[in-house]
Amino acid sequence: MNDFQPLPHHKFTFGLWTVGNVGRDPFGHPTRPALSPVEIVHLLAEVGAYGVNLHDNDLVPIDATPAERDHIVANFKAALADTGMVVPMATTNLFSDPAFKDGAFTSNDARVRAYALQKTMRSIDLGVELGAKVYVFWGGREGTESDSTKNPLDAIKRMREAMNFLCAYVRDQGYDLKFALEPKPNEPRSHIYMPTVGHMLAFIYTLDHPEMVGLNPEVAHEHMAGLNFTHAVAQALDAGKLFHIDLNDQLFGRYDQDFRFGAEMIKQAFYLVKLLEDSGYDGNRHFDAHAYRTSTLEDVKAFARGCMRTYLILKDKVARFHADADIQALLAQIHADKGEFDYLKGGYSAEHAQQLSATAFDLSVLGARNLPYEQLDQLTIELLLGVR
Ligand code: GCO
Ligand code: MN
Ligand code: MN
């Protein structure tokens, strides 16, 4: 009997900012009290998470003295030791302070760009001290409202220079750390540079050390752009660049919702879990989501449990999909292949080209094939609805 209990090997993680979200939105004040980082570690341990991720300032206030920093970090490490929680990922807050109102690495102001680099170096040091192996970059302010204000070519160049500088810093320190870039199309800027997984993937190959840099795709961000998230993740996996993943849920065409994983688009969530599980992805499953603004503490815990439980239920559905005789029979029918074109798997050769040129294709036969996709999709829906 599968009880859908989260276990450490599932690698379920949450950010301090996720279950710590106080319910503030652009129209209203917080609806629940702030929890301290130590309280959040205990909450996450209680609900069965494996790890906790953080921005530098989720833990250490931006104006803390070095002594205050050391004291806070020591308390946090004690909470990790008490609970067995780990810190697999860390990141920098380059968006809250008004200094970053026109971006961090892409700001028009060289002083802001330099400060962003310095802040990130310190935050990388903190992340490594806490054990992080993945360092995320989400450039929420790296964009514009008006393109009169910034030349996009300058912005992309500045972003590249920043990544190259920080990769070199990590190498120079001898840190065992990879970077994961997180694209988002908009919010909080009207337009954010390199807005989707595809854009960011292309950017990575322009860096000095592309082998150190991969992606942190997020469900909500591709959905905000109206894109198929599973296809985006597949492209990252295919390139060997899925270094991390942010799971949540989000309807197309809405504000940045950050809902509980699987809360809205259950079919898309199923195909995503199927891809992650079938591909053997062994990184963290990080939930970058928060509870509804209407929730109080008990409901925040239910939110966190719900993210993990839905993932595990969908993982079970994936196993049922693979074991379902009717589904597998349809797939076998769809993929039936007499092997007459197996020679093309060997790629191009002059003989293959000649053989192919000499082949006659009967388009009426190809066009008349029965593709039982309605049947297959209905069986998938019935499986998800729990009647098979
Ligand atoms: C958002 C982003 C952030 C980042 C976080 C970690 O839409 O606000 O998803 O939550 O993931 O800053 O880099
Ligand atoms: Mn997001
Ligand atoms: Mn995110």
Q: Can 208 be counted among the known catalytic residues?
A: no
Position 382 scores a pLDDT of 98
Phi, psi of 233 (to 5 degrees): -65, -35
Query: Does residue 299 line the site of ligand 1, with CB under 6 A?
Result: no
**End-to-end C-alpha distance for the chain, whole angstroms:** 16
Active-site pick, 3, 42, 58, 290:
58
User: Would you call 347 helix, strand, or coil by DSSP?
Assistant: coil
- pLDDT, one tens digit per residue, over 126-151 is 999 999 999 999 999 999 999 999 99
- Report d(CA 194, CA 198) in Å as an integer: 8
Residue 100 is assigned to a structural domain of this protein: yes
CA 257 / ligand 1 centre spacing (Å): 12
Closest CA to 246 of 226, 267, 222, 263: 222
In a domain, 307, yes or no: yes
Which residues lie below 8 Å from residue 250, measured CB to CB, with a gap of 6+?
Answer: 219, 220, 223, 224, 256, 257, 258, 259, 264, 265
For Cα atoms 140, 141, 144, give the angle at the middle one, nearest 5 degrees. Answer: 120
- Contacts of residue 151, defined as CB under 8 A and 6 or more positions apart, other chains included, come to none
- Among the candidates 323, 338, 370, a domain finishes at 323
pLDDT at 2: 78
- Residue 76 C-alpha to ligand 1 middle, in angstroms? 22
Could you tell me if residue 2 is inside a domain?
no
Same domain, 331 and 213: no
Ligand 3: distance of its center to the CA of 219 in Å? 9
Long-range Cβ contact pairs of 253-260 (< 8 A, separation 24 or more): 253/226, 254/224, 255/187, 256/187, 256/220, 256/224, 257/220, 258/220, 258/288, 258/289, 258/290, 259/220, 259/289, 260/289, 260/291, 260/303, 260/306, 260/307, 260/310
Residue-averaged pLDDT of the chain: 98
Categorise residue 84: left if φ over 0, alpha if ψ from -120 to 50, beta otherwise: left
pLDDT tens digits along 329-355: 999 999 999 999 999 999 999 999 999
pLDDT in tens, 77-124: 999 999 999 999 999 999 999 999 999 999 999 999 999 999 999 999
Would you say residue 242 lies in a domain?
yes
Q: Are residues 359 and 210 in the same domain?
A: no
Q: Are residues 308 and 376 in the same domain?
A: no
184 Cβ closer than 6 Å to some ligand 1 atom = yes
Does residue 1 carry a pLDDT above 90? no
Residues 193 and 289 in one domain: yes
* Tens-place pLDDT, residues 152-186: 999 999 999 999 999 999 999 999 999 999 999 99
Task: Say whether pLDDT at 250 is over 80.
Answer: yes
Q: Which of 56, 248, 288 to mutate to test the pocket of ligand 1 (most atoms within 8 A of CB)?
A: 288
| Ligand 1 atom 4 nearest Cα | 138
Mean pLDDT of the region 282-286 = 98
Query: Residue 146 sits in a domain of what CATH number?
Result: 3.20.20.150
pLDDT at residue number 287: 99
Would you state the pLDDT for residue 90? 99
Beta strands (DSSP E) in the chain are: 12-15, 51-55, 89-91, 134-138, 143-144, 178-182, 191-192, 213-215, 246-247, 285-287
Q: How far apart (Å, rounded) are the C-alpha atoms in residues 179 and 222?
A: 20
Q: Is 138 in the pocket of ligand 1 (CB under 6 A)?
A: yes
Q: What is the extent of the structural domain holding 338?
A: 325-384
Say which ligand is closest to the CA of 246.
3
Question: 228 with 116, same domain?
Answer: yes
Q: Read off the pLDDT of each residue in 181-199 and give the average, rounded to a whole number.
A: 98
Indicate whether 210 and 333 sit together in one domain.
Answer: no
Q: Using CA positions, which residue lies closest to atom 2 of ligand 1?
A: 138
Name the nearest CA neighbour of 276 among 218, 324, 237, 305: 237
Do 279 and 375 belong together in one domain?
A: no
Ligand at minimal distance from the CA of 20 is 1
Q: Sort residue 4 into left (φ over 0), alpha (ψ -120 to 50) or beta.
A: left
For the purposes of burial, counting CB atoms within 10 Å of the CB of 331, is it exposed (0-12), middle (13-18) or buried (19 or more)?
Answer: middle
Q: Is 56 in the pocket of ligand 1 (CB under 6 A)?
A: no
Answer yes or no: is pLDDT of 211 > 60: yes
89 with 161, same domain? Answer: yes
From 323, 341, 361, the end of a domain falls on 323
Cβ–ligand 1 contact at 288 (below 6 Å)? yes
Query: Quick one: average pLDDT of 291-305?
Result: 98
Say if 176 falls within a structural domain. Answer: yes
Give the Å distances, CA to CA, from 46 to 33, 51, 245, 311: 19, 12, 23, 18
Contact 120, 169 (CB under 8 A): no
Reply yes or no on whether 58 is catalytic.
yes
Query: Number of C-alpha atoms within 13 angstroms, CB side, residue 379?
Result: 18
Please give the average per-residue pLDDT across 281-291, as a whole number.
98
| Mean pLDDT in residue range 195-201 | 98
Q: What is the pLDDT of residue 298?
A: 98
My answer on whether 281 and 376 are in the same domain is no
Considering the domain boundaries, does residue 3 fall inside one? no
Kindly state the tokens that stand for 322. 């693979």
Out of 280, 297, 323, a domain closes at: 323
Tokens of 111: 């002083």
Beta bridge pairs of residue 53: 15
Determine what percent of the chain is predicted with pLDDT higher than 90. Answer: 99
Tell me which ligand sits closest to the C-alpha of residue 187.
Answer: 1
- Taking residues 213-232, what's their average pLDDT? 98
Which residue is closest in CA terms to ligand 1's atom 5? 138
Q: Is residue 329, in this structure, part of any structural domain at all?
A: yes
Strand order in the sheet with 134-138: 213-215, 178-182, 134-138, 89-91, 51-55, 12-15, 285-287, 246-247
Separation between Cα atoms, residue 45 and residue 51, nearest integer Å: 8
Q: Mean per-residue pLDDT for 264-268? A: 98
How much is the pLDDT for 180?
99
User: Which of 25, 29, 42, 55 is the catalytic position?
Assistant: 55
Report the separation in Å between the CA atom of 293 and the middle of ligand 1, taken as the mean of its atom positions. 18
Q: How far is the CA of 168 from the centre of ligand 3 (A)?
A: 25
Residue 1 falls inside a structural domain:
no
Total domain count, the chain: 2
Residues 89 and 39 grouped into a single domain = yes
